[in-house]
Structure 1
Amino acid sequence: MKTLFRAAALGALLVTAGAASASAQTVLTAADTQFKATTLNLSAYGETRVAPDMATITLGVNVESPTAAEAMKANALRMNQVIAALKKAGIESRDIQTSGLNLNPQYVYEQNQPPKLTGYQAANQVTVRVRDLAKLGQAVDATVNAGANTIHGISFGLSDPEGAENAARREAVKALEAKAALYAQATGYKIVRLVSLNESGGYSPEPPRPVMMMAMKRESADSTPIEGGELRVRIDVSATFEAAR
């Protein structure tokens, strides 16, 4: 009985090993077939340029006073006027965000003398999103007239970049297909199918551009000219194509 049991067990092991070997052979055959296939690995990009429809600008108030309390109080008074001017110019509360608040002592340094405290500087900055570019220049002027004396940067953007991104995607795919057809023709092949497609890139807001500080009230009735220009939206794609003769 023991001999029969051992024979049966050995037979089961042989069957299992045979099935595993056949399965491994199938995997190797599939991998070998894929390895032998002729593929083209290519990349391309599509780009579209569109006019921005919104802008973000950072502005603020710097005040110097003999004491810290006086500096903060004077700064708060002027900053409240600046925020009120923004709202009066049509900027919503959700588009006004405090982005910096600082209080620093001011010193005079003389040779061979200890630093001498001369007062305190209070600085308050807000980042403002302007959704109507036609109001941008007037909004900036209103803040300067209300007491803002620093402007640190401006950037332009898109409230809904999907349309521009899709246009760039179509251009990227066209460029990719044209490149694949060219390589296939040059090497005597034809494209059989698209194996994989990957995307990178897309819309990202541009970094703030430096703008000149505006510390004096404007005397002219004309608003500050600010040009939005164009934004570049780029989509990069890469793909693997199978080719055959």
Structure 2
Amino acid sequence: MTAILNMRAVVASLALMACTAAPVLAEQVLPLRQITVTGDARTEVAPDRASITLGVTVEAESAAEAMRTVSQDMAAVIDRLAAGGIAPEDMQTQRISVDPVWSGGRYDNGSGKRVITGFVASNTLLVRVRDLGNLGAILDDVLDAGANEFRGLSFGVADRAAVLDQIRGDAVRDAIRKARQLAEAADMTLGPVRSISEHGGGGGVPMMAMEMARSGDVPVQAGSLSFEHSVTVVFDLLEPTSE
């Protein structure tokens, strides 16, 4: 019986302690106050690289003749590029194709069967130009060597990662600036960062269409590349400290 009474006393004491501690815990657990802001950054960079997609297209009566001629012409283009200082690793074949050429409506009027009148062969090459000062001369050289098809021209920078690293930091600093301004306007103190989320970055210009006309070196204006980056940052908001 004595043991039972002692156990009841212990339980009662624990219950009393829990009731006493509850208001203290309630005072310590406060609603979490946070602010979420988006930081943005943008910069303009002069390009130092270019990529050209060019090709040779030839039509002949037979597939073999068309492919033989297009291969000879492309070999001449590659030789001219190499003579102009383009390294082998900066030239990459993109596509080789041979397709039939059909007459009129693709059907013979008498028999209703398809009629092939010849074949067209094509060889497409991607060229990376690391010296923009030679870009116009290179374009003129390949036209002179036999290239008769251009798929486009795009510009870039050699160290893209360095540019993105810079504007990534700028975007975070922009988020901190905005958050501090909002906290001060709300008579709060900006607390520590809780999370940072990136929304990616981009840069570059759309591919330029190339015309086949030529007069001396092809005139090319590289302009500048625009890079952008944004981040979302979550901060704690604290009550202002009393002086």
Equivalent residues of 1:48, 1:167 under 8 A apart: no
Match in the other structure for 2:69? 74
Match in the other structure for 1:109? 104
Deviation of 1:206 after TM superposition, in Å, equals 4.5
Alignment deviations for residues 191-211 of structure 1 (CA, whole Å, 9 cap, x no partner): 021222222323455453322
Q: Which runs of 4+ in 1 moved over 6 A?
A: none
Pairing 1:161-200 to 2, within 5 Å after superposition? 161-200=160-199
Match in the other structure for 2:217? 223
Taking the aligned partners of 2:205 and 2:126, their CA distance within structure 1 comes to 15
**Structure 1 stretch displaced more, 142-151 or 180-189:** 180-189
Alignment deviations for residues 87-131 of structure 1 (CA, whole Å, 9 cap, x no partner): 111110001000011100101125871443211000000011111
Query: In the alignment, does 2:49 pair up with 1:54?
Result: yes
Match in the other structure for 1:242? 236
Equivalent residues of 1:161, 1:203 under 8 A apart: no
Taking the aligned partners of 2:158 and 2:76, their CA distance within structure 1 comes to 28
Taking the aligned partners of 1:150 and 1:116, their CA distance within structure 2 comes to 27
Taking the aligned partners of 1:232 and 1:205, their CA distance within structure 2 comes to 6
Alignment deviations for residues 17-66 of structure 1 (CA, whole Å, 9 cap, x no partner): xxxxx9xxxxxx8xx94x72211011121111101110111001000001
Query: In the alignment, does 2:153 pair up with 1:154?
Result: yes
1:39 to 34, 45, 63: 34
Match in the other structure for 1:134? 133
Q: What TM-score, normalized to structure 1? A: 0.79
**Residue ranges of structure 2 left out of the alignment (5+ in a row):** 1-17, 19-24
What is the RMSD computed on CA atoms of the aligned residues? 2.5
Equivalent residues of 1:41, 1:238 under 8 A apart: yes
> 2:58 is matched by which residue type in structure 1?
V
Which structure has the bigger radius of gyration? Answer: 2
> 1:85 is matched by which residue type in structure 2?
R
Q: What TM-score, normalized to structure 2? A: 0.80
Taking the aligned partners of 1:49 and 1:142, their CA distance within structure 2 comes to 31
Name the % identity.
Answer: 34
> 2:174 is matched by which residue type in structure 1?
A
Deviation of 1:233 after TM superposition, in Å, equals 1.4
SS of corresponding position for 1:102: strand
SS of corresponding position for 1:52: coil
**Residue ranges of structure 1 left out of the alignment (5+ in a row):** 1-21, 23-28
Taking the aligned partners of 2:116 and 2:229, their CA distance within structure 1 comes to 55
Taking the aligned partners of 1:226 and 1:97, their CA distance within structure 2 comes to 22
> 2:68 is matched by which residue type in structure 1?
K
Match in the other structure for 2:94? 99
